[in-house]
Amino acid sequence: MAIEIKENVPLASLTTFGIGGGAKYLTEVKTDVELREAIIWARDRITSFHILSGGSNVLIPDEGLRGLVIRIVSDSYVFNGLNLIADAGCNLTMLIREAGRRGLGGWESLAGIPGSIGGAIRGNAGAFGSELKDYTFAVRAYNHETGELRTFVNEACHFAYRSSYFKQHFEWIILNVEVALREIGPQESAEGHHAA
Ligand SMILES: Cc1cc2nc3c(=O)[nH]c(=O)nc-3n(C[C@H](O)[C@H](O)[C@H](O)COP(=O)(O)OP(=O)(O)OC[C@H]3O[C@@H](n4cnc5c(N)ncnc54)[C@H](O)[C@@H]3O)c2cc1C
């Protein structure tokens, strides 16, 4: 087994609010294979699991979390023409900056929203009148109940105000995201924008 399972891990430092108890078990996953291994590990022990990514939109209860916390730390991304395909664990603001360096953007008003692009898709994060849905081309996700891998086009993501299909259907875990960007000039770079 490639994944490492840690026991009795404090969670406060993994969240923006910095409070709350620990995880009975915690593992960090970088790949789809590791994610599946972690879910099988939890299932084999008949224990629950919780997905955590950037930790900027969660409050951990003082008594902590029983079961396995699966922290998504996948961090690969690739540019394909005007599109960017990024792992769910990639930090959103980092991606906006990296795209800007390549002269690609349009989504600069989202720079400064803390957390991962996976978390941002789930909650259709937004700032200054624009939202992730405005740039999302497709989302690849894994159904931990059926084992199905599916690519959701924008319309299938059912984006709504701070919501999406994935927020309503917790059985789907976001693996990676393809966003459609446009060419921008240097004056539009993310440096000048800070959300929240
Ligand atoms: C200071 C501050 C400013 C903020 N400003 C804004 C703002 O301007 N606009 C805005 O929209 N939000 C804002 N937020 C909220 C937060 O940043 C966003 O909701 C962010 O997108 C959450 O991403 P995350 O990776 O931190 O998710 P986490 O906090 O790790 O997780 C949030 C939820 O998403 C689930 N989740 C995480 N990754 C996945 C995945 N890959 N697949 C399925 N489920 C997943 C988790 O299980 C959890 O239920 C702000 C938060 C803070 C603390």
Please tell me the CATH code under which domain 6-72 is placed: 3.30.43.10
Instruction: Examine the pLDDT at 192 and tell me if it is beyond 50.
Output: no
Ligand 1 atom 32, closest CA: 57
- Give the distance (Å) from ligand 1 centre to CA of residue 162: 10
User: What contacts 101, CB < 8 A, 6 or more positions away?
Assistant: none
Handedness of CA 78, 84, 88, 93 (dihedral sign): positive
Please tell me the CATH code under which domain 77-192 is placed: 3.30.465.10
Q: Which of 178, 174, 180 is nearest to 88 (CA)?
A: 174
SS3 108: helix
SS3 144: coil
Give the ligand 1 atom nearest the CA of 52. 30
Share of the chain above pLDDT 90, in %: 91
Ligand 1 atom 12, closest CA: 125
Q: Where are the domains of the chain?
A: 6-72, 77-192
What is the tens place of the pLDDT at every residue in 27-71?
Answer: 999 999 999 999 999 999 888 999 999 999 999 999 999 999 999
| Whether the CB of 95 sits within 6 Å of ligand 1 | no
